[in-house]
Structure 1
Amino acid sequence: MRLKKEKLRIGFLMGLGDIISWQLTGWTLTMVSLGCGFVGPVVRGWYRVLNQFIHSTTKVDAVKKMLLDLGGFAPCFLGCFLPLVRVLNGLSAQDNWAKLQQDYCDALITNYYLACHACVALIWNSYLSWKAHQL
């Protein structure tokens, strides 16, 4: 039951993102099916594998998981996800390969940028909370 809920949640979030994108650019709702049928199961499987190899929940282990996720999973995932979206939108294999070569590095760098941004935001929010609660 948890797996089904997680798939639906990821599908919903990806679909919502696709709807927003569609409003801005005219894309279709393929992200809902990708979220439920590809992203949800793949990400869930990856986190299961990650948790099998790194059992504990210490801060050091959390950093290890994050580094493995960013360094190992993200490049592979993007290399599968981007072409899959384009296949579903009818792009030929040759055009898909050319588009992947054009977009892959930008998508991966943006992924790393967002991860760094999230870490900085966490530090900043921790500081703000500490500062706000000083009496």
Structure 2
Amino acid sequence: MPTSIRALISEGLRVGVIMAAGDAICQTFVEKRELKNLDVNRMLKFGAVGVVYVGPVLKGWYGTLDKIVPKGSPPLKRALKKMALDQTCFAPSFIASLIGIFGLINGESIPTIQDRFRNDYFTILSRNYMLWPAAQVINFSVVPLNYQVLYAQFISLIWNIYLSMKLNDEKK
């Protein structure tokens, strides 16, 4: 198996485990479910999105950022450029895609997904901007490229608890 495919699979598996853990934490601590009442299917779906979508997409995006932001800049300046690109070019569309993907895997109708987008997109995006710019400056200035997705996914454990709460809200 080529190294690039192996890296995508490996990254996807890591991200999937962290996303599933975020959903499990959301169910047990936020939603106050007992472990015996854990919605394992929901947790596995949340993790599967990490394996097949989030991990590979982030791996590709971080590699692209590393190529397009000049390496000759001072580390903090380079990190700020990467963060600005990440938060202006990537985050808005990535969040929109997650709303759609989770709506589809949860069996929601297109009108329901559209309503969820109208009701939740800007809230999720604003919460994103409360967490991710600082986390990404640290990521891009200190963490080696081959560990950036992993670092981001550990920060994502908190983020995934929030996303699970918003994207699995059945009241929509």
TM-score of the two chains, using structure 1 as the length reference: 0.80
1:99 aligned onto 2:116 = yes
1:81 aligned onto 2:98 = yes
Deviation at 1:88, TM superposition (A): 0.3
Deviations 1:43-98 (A, max 9, x none): 11111211121141622111100111111110010010111101100100011001
Q: Bigger shift: 22-31 or 64-73?
A: 22-31
Identity of aligned residues (%): 32
Q: How many residues align?
A: 120
Deviation at 1:105, TM superposition (A): 0.3
Cα RMSD (Å) of the superposition?
A: 2.1
1:7 aligned onto 2:12 = yes
Structure-1 separation of matches of 2:24 and 2:70: 38
Question: Which one has a bigger Cα radius of gyration?
Answer: 1
1:45 aligned onto 2:43 = no
1:114 aligned onto 2:109 = no
Structure-2 separation of matches of 1:4 and 1:89: 24
TM-score of the two chains, using structure 2 as the length reference: 0.64
The higher relative CO (CA closer than 8 Å, separation ≥ 6) is in: 2
Q: Bigger shift: 91-100 or 25-34?
A: 25-34
Runs in 1 of length 4+ with deviation above 2 angstroms? Answer: 1-5, 22-27, 115-119
Structure 1 stretches lacking a partner, 5+ long: 122-135
Structure 2 stretches lacking a partner, 5+ long: 1-5, 32-37, 139-172
